Amino acid sequence: MAALLTRLPDRSCLGIMPTRDDQTLADTNASLSDAEVARYHADGFIVPDWRLPLHDVERLRRLLDQLIDESPKVRPEHLVLRWGGGDAALAVHAAILEFARSPAVLNIVERLLGPDLMCWGAHMFCKPAGDGRVVPWHQDGDYWPIRPLATCTVWVALDHSGPENGCLRVVPGSHKKRETLAHEQVEREDWALNQTLVSGTFDPNDAVDVVLEPGQMSIHDVFMIHGSEANRSTQRRAGLAIRYMPATSLYDRAIKMPGGAAAIRQDMSQRPIYLVRGEDRAGNDFTIGQDRPFAVGGD
């Protein structure tokens, strides 16, 4: 009986992930182990031991609700965030920026991309219960005007994310050649993105599910093949993707991305970008777009 009682308070028994007191966004000791870094390079993705405390997850969830309320015309899978608009606008969405610029997350990203870091985008990928859209197979590099192509995405789960509600699926090791394979443009109402890998460029049977609990995150490389299924379950699946690049690469505003009719437009030339650690070493322009208002759903 005593043994049972001592086990009852274990929060994982109640379906709540345990949080660790030493893990906060301000935690300057947060990092990745050498084994985690090696796994990232071998597989193209990792799920770090470090996770976001639940009260920060709850802040981000409230922000997601706010973004959905404020943007009734934007599908919840398409909540691409365009920062800018000065400090006042930034303050409104402070929870995301605090996350993106936090010592803990930057320490982790620094282990993968080096000491000079830019944050150039963020995207709430929210798949509502019942009709959450498919994310077709793709490599992020096919979408982005960054040269040399080098970025990683930190994707933090705001809900439980598993195969039943359309979790991220990745092809381990598919990043290794450091090249983008052939993509084609496909406009489909039930898809969240409009560029997808041409059939035959890889084997979808090699894919694995990335199952995450709220606050856990996966980090993936720009060349890694990934996608996700529709959400036909009764449980929402939301994640916040923050995009980082090394400041040794150029966010090249002259490159015209393919574009298309899909809700996410691809002209990224005016997007505000931020140096979040170290120094710019590639002539990036951090002034463009800063005066544009905060917006969601496009560039």
**CA 271, 277, 283, 285 torsion-angle sign:** positive
Interface with Ni ion (CB under 5 A), residue total 1
C-beta of 93 vs 127, nearer to ligand AKG:
127
Q: Which of 32, 80, 108, 168 contacts ligand AKG by CB under 6 A?
A: 168
**CA 261, 89, 221, 215 torsion-angle sign:** negative
C-beta of 11 vs 232, nearer to ligand AKG:
232
C-beta of 68 vs 135, nearer to ligand AKG:
135
Residue nearest to Ni ion according to CB distances in the complex: 140
Q: How far is the CB of 227 from ligand AKG (least distance, A)?
A: 7
The contact pattern for Ni ion, residues 136-155, with x = CB under 5 A and - = no contact, is ----x---------------
Of 111-140, binders to Ni ion (CB under 5 A) are 140
C-beta of 85 vs 171, nearer to ligand AKG:
171
The helix (H) or strand (E) run that includes residue 40 is: helix 34-43
Backbone angles phi, psi at 58, to 5 degrees: -65, -40
Please state, as a whole number, how many other Cβ atoms lie within 10 Å of the Cβ of residue 87.
Answer: 7
Pull the structure tokens for residue 288.
Answer: 């463009």
Of 121-140, binders to ligand AKG (CB under 6 A) are 125, 135, 140
Pull the structure tokens for residue 64.
Answer: 């997601």
| CA distance linking residue 104 with residue 215, whole number of Å | 13
What is the per-residue burial (b if ≥16 Cβ within 10 Å, else e) of 6-44?
eeeeeeeeeeebebeeebbbebeebbbeeebbebbeebb
| CA distance linking residue 294 with residue 287, whole number of Å | 15
C-beta of 117 vs 224, nearer to ligand AKG:
224
Q: Which of 153, 196, 216, 231 contacts ligand AKG by CB under 6 A?
A: 153
The contact pattern for ligand AKG, residues 212-251, with x = CB under 6 A and - = no contact, is --------------x-x----------x-x----------
Residues forming contacts to ligand AKG in the complex (CB under 6 A) are 125, 135, 140, 153, 155, 168, 226, 228, 239, 241
Which residues are at the interface with Ni ion (CB under 5 A)?
A: 140
